[in-house]
Structure 1
Amino acid sequence: MTGLIRLELIRALRNKKFLFFSVLYPSALFLMIAGTQDAHTEVDGTGLTLPTLFMVSMASFGALTAVLMGNSERIAKERENGWVRQLRLTPLPGRGYVVAKTASAAVVSLPAIVVVFIVAAATKGVRLEAWQWLALTGAIWAGSLVFAALGVAVGYLATGDAVRPITMILYFGLSVLGGLWMPTTTFPGWLQKISSWLPTYAYAGLGQSIELGDAPHAKDLAILVVSFLLFAGGAAWLYRKDTRKA
C-alpha cells in the first residue's frame, strides 16, 4: 500500500495544472478578496478581521480542491482505463486502494494550506501564536480527509464523462454555501440555517475557533465525523459494488 501511495504522490506532483489549482489558486483568491481590504476591521458576527477569516477559508478551500477534485476525476478515469481492475489482480486489498487514495490526496493538500498561511502573513500581516499556527495546520489538514473520502465516493459513483460536472457542482456548492468564499453572515436567515449543517461550514469553523483561541465547537466536530463516516462508508460500498460488476 505504501508503494501505491508513493505512486499517487508522484503522479499528482507531475500534474502542473492540478498543482496550480490546488496550491496557487487559493492564495490568488485570498489576495483578490483580502488584498485590498482593511486588515483591522472585523467581519460582523465573527470576531475576526477579514484577512484572518479568509486565510482559514482559503486554506480550507485549497485543501478541498486538492482532495476532492484530484480524487474523483482520477478514480473515474482509472476505472474506465482498467487500472483499478489491474490492481485487483495484486495482493492489495480493496480497502488498501481506498486508503491509499485518501492518504495521498491528504498529503498533497498540505502545501495548499501552508502557502495560504505564508501569503496571509507576508501580505496582510496576519499574526498568531505558534500553537495556533500548528493547530490550524493540523485541524485543516485532518479535516480534509472528510472531502478526500467524498472524492473517492464520487469517483466510484460517476462515469468518466459525468464525474467532472458532478464534482464541480459539489465543489462550488459546498464552497459557497459553506462560507468559504464569503461570510455566511451575509446570507438570508433561512440560508444561514442550512449552511450551518454543511461539512464545509463546520470545516471552516474549526480554524476560526482556533484563531479566536477557543476550542472547536462540538457541533462542528460532530458534523465532520458523521460526514466522514458517511462518505467513507459510501466509498467502500461503491467499491464493492464496482468489484462485483468487474
Structure 2
Amino acid sequence: MNTVRIYQKEAWYDLLSVWRTPGFVLPSLAFPVVFYLFFGVIFNRSGGSNTAAYMLVTYSCFGIMGPAMFNFAMNIASDRAHGWLTLKRLSPMPVAAYLLAKMSTSLVFALLIMLLLFSTAVLFGDVRLAYSQWLLLLLLLLVGTLPFALIGLMLGLTLSDKTAPGVVNLLYLPMAFLSGLWLPISMFPPFLQQLGWVWPSYHLSQIGLKVINMDQGHALWVHLLILTITSALLAGLALWSFKQLTAEKA
C-alpha cells in the first residue's frame, strides 16, 4: 500500500470512528448553533444584523475550538490508555498519518459547524456579507483550528483518559468566555479585556472580526504574530511530550 493510501485510510477511519460517537457529534454541531440562535438572533432584537454578524464570527471561533481540542485530547488519551497508540507507533504506518487523521477530522467538523452557522446567520440573523468575506472567514477559521488542535494534542499526550475531558472543559469554556466569544469583549472590565490577549481564541476572533470591520482596531500583524508564536510553542511542547512518552515506553 502506498503512503498516500495509508494517510487516506487512516483519515477516513478516524472520521468514521468519531462520527459513530453521538456524544461527540451532537454537542459539537448543536451547541454553537443553538448558542448563536439564542444570543445572536432571538435575544438580539435591538442589535440588528451588525450584532448578528459580530456574533457569527465569535461563535464560529467558539464552534471550531471544541472539536479540535476534544478530538485530540480525549481520543489520544484513550488510545494511550488502551495501548492503541503504542500499537500504531510499532506498526509500519507513519506517526504523522495518525496525527493528520485527527487534524482532518477536526477540519471536517469545523467546516460543518461553519456551514451550519453561516446558513443560520443568513436565514435567521439577516447577515449579509460579500462573497469574499464569507470565503475569507471560512479559510481563516479552518486554518485557525491549528492552535486548538495543538492544545488538545499536548493534553492528550500528558493526561489520562479519565482526566482529559474535565481538563479540556476547564480550559475550553473559560477561554471562550474570556476571549469575548460569548459576549463582546468591549463589555468586560478593562483588566478582563487585557486578559483576553493571553488566549489564542481572542486573536483568532479579532482577525475574523477584522474581515467584517468590527474588530478592536489592533494591527493585523500583531494577532498573526501572537498566533504563530503560540502555535510554535504548543507544537514544541507537544513534541517534547511525545518524546517523553516514547522514552517511557522504550
Task: State the TM-score, normalized to the length of structure 1.
Answer: 0.91
Q: CA deviation at 1:90?
A: 1.1
SS of residue matched to 1:179: coil
Contact 1:40 1:49 in 2 (8 A): no
Cα distance change of structure 1 residues 219 and 209 upon mapping to structure 2, 3 Å threshold? same
Q: Deviations over 1:95-153 (max 9, x none)?
A: 44333322332232210111111111110110000010000000011101110111111
Q: 2:38 is aligned with what amino acid?
A: M
Q: 1:177 is aligned with what amino acid?
A: L
Find the partner of 1:27 among 5, 23, 33.
Answer: 33
Contact 1:76 1:159 in 2 (8 A): yes
Q: Distance in 2 between matches of 1:125 and 1:224?
A: 31
Q: Distance in 2 between matches of 1:226 and 1:114?
A: 29
Instruction: Indicate the RMSD between aligned Cα atoms, in angstroms.
Output: 2.0
Contact 1:71 1:101 in 2 (8 A): yes
Q: Does 2:224 align with 1:221?
A: yes
5+ residue gaps, structure 1, are 43-47
Q: 2:22 is aligned with what amino acid?
A: K
1:45 paired residue number: none
Q: CA deviation at 1:229?
A: 1.1
Find the partner of 2:47 among 41, 57, 61.
Answer: 41
Q: Distance in 1 between matches of 2:10 and 2:102?
A: 8
Matches within 5 A, 1:194-205: 194-205=195-206
Q: CA deviation at 1:38?
A: 4.3
Q: Does 2:242 align with 1:236?
A: no
1:9 paired residue number: 15
SS of residue matched to 2:198: coil
Cα distance change of structure 1 residues 232 and 106 upon mapping to structure 2, 3 Å threshold? farther
Q: Distance in 1 between matches of 2:234 and 2:187?
A: 29
Q: Equivalent pairs: percent with the same residue?
A: 26
Cα distance change of structure 1 residues 208 and 29 upon mapping to structure 2, 3 Å threshold? same
1:135 paired residue number: 136
Matches within 5 A, 1:166-177: 166-177=167-178
2:193 paired residue number: 192
Task: State the TM-score, normalized to the length of structure 2.
Answer: 0.90
SS of residue matched to 1:134: helix
Matches within 5 A, 1:74-223: 74-212=75-213, 217-223=220-226
Contact 2:107 2:142 in 1 (8 A): yes
Q: Distance in 1 between matches of 2:236 and 2:98?
A: 14
Residue correspondences, number: 241
Contact 2:11 2:97 in 1 (8 A): no
Contact 1:202 1:223 in 2 (8 A): yes
Q: Distance in 2 between matches of 1:111 and 1:126?
A: 18
Q: 2:198 is aligned with what amino acid?
A: W
Q: Distance in 2 between matches of 1:41 and 1:112?
A: 23
Contact 1:4 1:100 in 2 (8 A): yes
